[in-house]
Amino acid sequence: MRVFIDANLLIYLNTIKNQSLRTIYEDYYIGLLRTNKLYTNVLVLDELLYISWKKYNVPYKLTIEFIDSIVLPYTTILSLNEDDYRTASKILVDYNLKPSDSLHVASMKNNGIEYIVSEDNDFDRVDGIKRLWIK
């Protein structure tokens, strides 16, 4: 299955210090890797870098090391282009998502991806998108 990874899972993997909670997210990520082809876009990486630093005080250098060792080897990074902007503009108006979430959905739709790993239930409103999250 082709699956888009939203920022929240990556942020938790990068920032959670509580070992029992961390294990839950790590096991979920490893399970995704075993059974799916993972995708994300550069906007997710931007969110990961900024939120890890701003909210959790993780230095950029550490987050870059996390991305280079835990994300990039296993995930295809999708480019964003004018087609994605045009698709996102329609999604933004039709579903009232945040602009960044609209760009994520546009990335997915323009690349034939229907599943997103995210705790953000706003994605549940979007036709043709199925949200996955830890149960």
- Rounded to two decimals, the pTM is 0.96
Q: Tens of pLDDT along 18-47?
A: 999 999 999 999 999 999 999 999 999 999
Binned at pLDDT 50, 70 and 90, residue 122 comes out as: very high
pLDDT at 130: 98
Fold of 2-132: Rossmann fold (3.40.50)
pLDDT at 118: 98
Binned at pLDDT 50, 70 and 90, residue 135 comes out as: confident
Q: Averaged over 53-76, what is the pLDDT?
A: 98
Q: Where are the domains of the chain?
A: 2-132
Q: Give the chain as a DSSP string.
A: -EEEEPHHHHHHHHH---HHHHHHHHHHHHHHHHH-EEEEEHHHHHHHHHHHHHTT---HHHHHHHIIIIITTTEEEEP--HHHHHHHHHHHHHH---HHHHHHHHHHHHTT--EEE-S-GGGGGSTT-EEE---
